[in-house]
Chains A and B, each alone.
Chain A
Amino acid sequence: EVKLLESGGGLVQPGGSLRLSCAASGFTFADFYMSWIRQSPGKAPEWLSFIRNKANSYTTEYNPSVKGRFTISRDDTQNVLYLQMNTLRAEDTAIYYCAKHRGVPDFWGPGTMVTVSS
C-alpha cells in the first residue's frame, strides 16, 4: 500500500525558514518522480515543485511563484522527499502535500499545515 506522510509544518514568522519532509513507503521510491503541492483554505491546489529520479539526474522544476525561495530534494536511501522553504511570506500559509508523480501527481499524502504569521 502506497503511503506518504508529510511532517515539519507549523507556525513560522514572516521571513523565516522551514524544512518539510515526506516519508514514503509501499512503492519503490527511487524509481518515481515526486512533487510538492500546496493548498490554501478554500482554494485550488497549487503545484510548487517536482524532482525527477536518479535515472533522470534528479533534475527539478519549480513554479515561478516559489523559484529561488524553495528547494526540493530527495534521499533515496531513506525514502524521504524534502522541501526547504526560505523567506516565508504570509501568502505561503497553506497545507503542503507531497505527491507521487507519474505523468501527473497520482497519489497525495495527507498534508502538513504551514502558517506564516507574526
Chain B
Amino acid sequence: DVVMTQTPVSLSVSLGGQVSISCRSSQSLVHNNGNTYLSWYLQKPGQSPQLLIYKVSNRFSGISDRFSGSGSGTDFTLKISRVEPDDLGVYYCGQGTQYPLTFGSGTKLEIK
C-alpha cells in the first residue's frame, strides 16, 4: 500500500495568517496515464470530509482561492492563506493513483 505521511500533526495559526501542510507518499503518485491523483480534504468538526484540491493543484468547485496545492512525485504541500475561523478542522491528503486508495493521518488546524 502507498503510505501517506503528513506533517505537522497539528498547528495553531492566527486569523489572517498563512499555514503550510506537507504530505509525502511512499511511492510516486504519477499514474500510468500521466495524472497525479493527490487530493486534499478538510473535515470540519462533526462533518464528513470535503474535497478541497484534486490532482495536486486543482481547486474543487466552490473552494476559495485561499487554498492552493503544489508538488510532484512524492512531495506535496497545501497552503492556506488569510486563515478564517471556518478553516479549523483536520486536513487529510489522499492518493487515488494506486489501489487501495490511502489517506494521510491528518493535520489538525487550530485557530489561536
Chain A residues in contact with chain B, CB under 8 A? 35, 44-47, 50, 61-65, 97, 103-111
Instruction: Give the dominant DSSP class at B's interface.
Output: loop
B103 touches A106 (CB 8 A): no
A103 touching B50, Cβ below 8 Å: no
Residue among A47, A50, A108, A109 making CB contact with B102, cutoff 8 Å: A47
Cβ-defined contact, A104 with B54, below 8 A: yes
Shortest distance between the CB of A39 and any CB in chain B (Å): 8
Q: Is the CB of B48 within 8 A of A105?
A: no
Q: Given A45-B49, A63-B100, A108-B50, answer yes or no on A103-B55 (Cβ-Cβ < 8 Å).
A: yes
B98-111 interface code vs A (CB 8 A; 1 in, 0 out): 01111111100000
Chain B residues contacting A64 (CB-CB under 8 Å) are: 100
Q: A45-B92, A103-B37, A103-B55 are in contact. Are A108 and B103 (CB under 8 A)?
A: no
A105 to chain B, nearest CB (A): 7
Say yes or no: B101 contacts A44, CB within 8 Å: no
Give B residues with C-beta under 8 Å from A: 35, 37, 39, 41, 47-51, 54-55, 60, 92, 94, 96, 99-106
Are B94 and A109 touching (Cβ within 8 A)? no
Q: In chain B, what residue has the closest Cβ to A66?
A: B100
User: Shortest Cβ distance from A57 into chain B, in angstroms?
Assistant: 17
Say whether, besides A97-B48, A111-B48, A104 and B99 are in contact (CB < 8 Å).
no
Question: In the assembly, what is the distance between CA of A107 and CA of B63, in Å?
Answer: 13
Residues in B with CB closer than 8 Å to A109 are 48
Report the Cα distance A99→B49, complex, angstroms: 10
Closest chain-A Cβ to B21's Cβ sits at a distance in Å of 14
Chain B residues within an 8 Å CB radius of A46: 103
Q: Which 7 A-B pairs have CB atoms at the shortest separation, nearest pair first?
A: A47-B101, A104-B96, A63-B100, A108-B48, A104-B39, A44-B103, A106-B51
Q: Which residue of A lies closest to B101 (CB)?
A: A47
Structural contact, B100 and A103, CB atoms closer than 8 A: no
Chain A contacts for B48, CB-based, 8 A: 97, 108-111
Q: Give CA–CA (A65, B102) in the complex, Å.
A: 12
